[in-house]
Chain A
């Protein structure tokens, strides 16, 4: 590993993380992205903006989220001591709200009265609908028609919050198609609409600003771990779809060379089956949704349909910074299959009384494997990025139970 890498220097002025990232959108959106970049640069160095963001995180989201020592689970596994960063305890039940709070404040700065979002599992849609309700903004959420089916509870939550949920029936009817449709909306309504992207992907400056908003996770976890244990963790584990919860946890630790990091992709039916959502494990670099990054695609450059039991990970791309962190070797990207993730869901629910989202269950399952390889003096911090209530119908269906 090259210890001279300055992780804070990324991205460069044009939004590149090495060869990844950038701005690959139609001409109509270029000006809006320039404007967003300018507004964000100002906000970033504006103490008043930062103070308002911190205040909202404390009083509306409920931060800091606890770092919880999963003692019973750790003993049962019999290896490293496992700590859970409890993003599931945030208002709206996932890490997504950290970012939507930040972007909604940016939207407020621009004076735009309408926000749009894409969503997979519905967590980002709910988090967007929530901040839109609070600020009195019109909110339209695009969601793949298949995800509308499997995440019915979140769809209804968004509607209760006053959002319009638009089912997207083109392509594979999942997150990637929702993102296409959100881009189409944005290109049409660019003058009065702020696009709240939910992950660290998309055209520059989104990967950077979403990362910056999510870094509160890692900053807190680092301080909490030092305070609770007197040392840094040996390893961090987080699931990676687009990768916002993972980058949020990892980024503040990147310069701590002793801390190993594991990004867990959705292995679906297994990497060898081809039916998964693990571009960093089994994809190649390409261009989609405004950035260059690892993608799942065929030999003609067509994006292929992905599979994961968890809607939030069911995406053929990944944030460009993860592609770069893979190439420079700072983070190991691994995969956990559907059935392993389901086992992780059940274990944490029964052993600790904490029901993880199916996305986070991928990280839980990998952490259990990793803990067994480490010693009892070692510490693993797992990002419990969301709670599992939204997945109960999916789990019941797998169990053959009609709720």
Chain B
């Protein structure tokens, strides 16, 4: 069990829900990313998902696409993202960090090089949007060797037999995508999510967190009541975009202003 498993086990023991936060490394500019990670923790984040920008982020809605574009304009890379995690670990040994992105930068670096360097940097998990269970085995071998959890998505369209296949490879937690669509889309159907979570829970002991469509305290509370935690992304990246010209302090304040009510809502469940 690495930092992810420990953190989620502790939360469960305390009967608390996990708050997972997503920002893109280098968005809106590289000099704010380290401070932003610490600010997320201060505002109550339990796990940080750090987006690795990609030129073709196919699963993202317009808000996170722009986040990737802003980061790439500053030359942000996978290697640079690992360096950011290394810097974060200088003062934070506890908060799990999951890299989230697309397969090609990892493919380019090489699976073994990626796993070993990510592990050295203090990365705990990897979520590769376009690397489904069927194609993940070679990478999984390397990740296991270096104690990095492979985080998988489950979707409303995932059939029961596929759930079994995915959970057999998954580590850390399962990320249930609440809706058919891209990040930042649509409205939540809490009852539909609940029905699927019940099915998934019968097939795995891993915690199941829910993302896509969580944008405020109310939606966090509604999903927190039925899942082990929530993943918040687009609303934070949107704040990065809106504060592109602002100073670092204003950016950090904006992130905290979004997360604090969500944390409170989750803790009052």
Q: Are B69 and A170 in contact (CB under 8 A)?
A: yes
Among B54, B56, B65, B132, residue most surrounded by chain A Cβ atoms (within 10 Å): B56
Of B59, B105, B131, which is within 8 A of A300 by CB? Answer: B105
Contacts of A295 in B (CB 8 A): 104
The stretch of A140-148, A285-293, A353-361 in contact with B is: A285-293
Q: Are B157 and A26 in contact (CB under 8 A)?
A: no
Of B65, B130, B152, which is within 8 A of A170 by CB? Answer: B65
User: Min CB distance, B81 to chain A, in Å?
Assistant: 10
Of A27, A288, A299, A300, which is within 8 A of B56 by CB? Answer: A288
Cα distance, A190 to B180, chains bound together (Å): 8
Q: Are A31 and B182 in contact (CB under 8 A)?
A: no
Cα distance, A190 to B155, chains bound together (Å): 12
With A26-B129, A288-B104 in contact, is A32–B58 under 8 Å at CB?
no
User: Min CB distance, A310 to chain B, in Å?
Assistant: 21
User: Min CB distance, A211 to chain B, in Å?
Assistant: 21
Q: How big is chain A's contact interface, by range? A: 35 or more
Q: Are A24 and B157 in contact (CB under 8 A)?
A: no
Q: Are A171 and B56 in contact (CB under 8 A)?
A: yes
With A28-B156, A301-B78 in contact, is A290–B130 under 8 Å at CB?
yes
Contact indicator per residue, chain B 37-68, by CB within 8 Å of chain A (1) or not (0)? 00000000000000000111111111001000
Of B77, B106, B107, B130, which is within 8 A of A25 by CB? Answer: B130
Cα distance, A43 to B60, chains bound together (Å): 33
Cα distance, A22 to B59, chains bound together (Å): 18
Cα distance, A121 to B109, chains bound together (Å): 33
Within 8 A of A (CB), among B95-153: 102-109, 129-132, 134-135, 152-153
Q: Are A302 and B162 in contact (CB under 8 A)?
A: no
Cα distance, A176 to B56, chains bound together (Å): 8
B6 at the interface (CB under 8 A from A): no
Of A191, A301, A302, A303, which is within 8 A of B180 by CB? Answer: A191
User: Min CB distance, A265 to chain B, in Å?
Assistant: 20
Can you name 18 A-B pairs with beta carbons within 8 Å? Answer: A25-B58, A25-B132, A26-B59, A26-B129, A28-B157, A28-B180, A28-B181, A170-B69, A180-B58, A188-B180, A189-B180, A289-B58, A297-B108, A301-B106, A302-B104, A302-B105, A303-B55, A303-B56
Q: Which residues of A contact B (CB under 8 A)?
A: 14, 22-32, 34, 170-171, 176-177, 180, 183-184, 187-191, 286-290, 292, 295, 297, 299-304
Q: Which residues of B contact A (CB under 8 A)?
A: 54-62, 65, 69, 72, 77-79, 102-109, 129-132, 134-135, 152-159, 162, 166, 177, 180-182, 185
- Among all A-B residue pairs, the 4 with the closest Cβ atoms: A301-B108, A301-B105, A28-B155, A188-B181
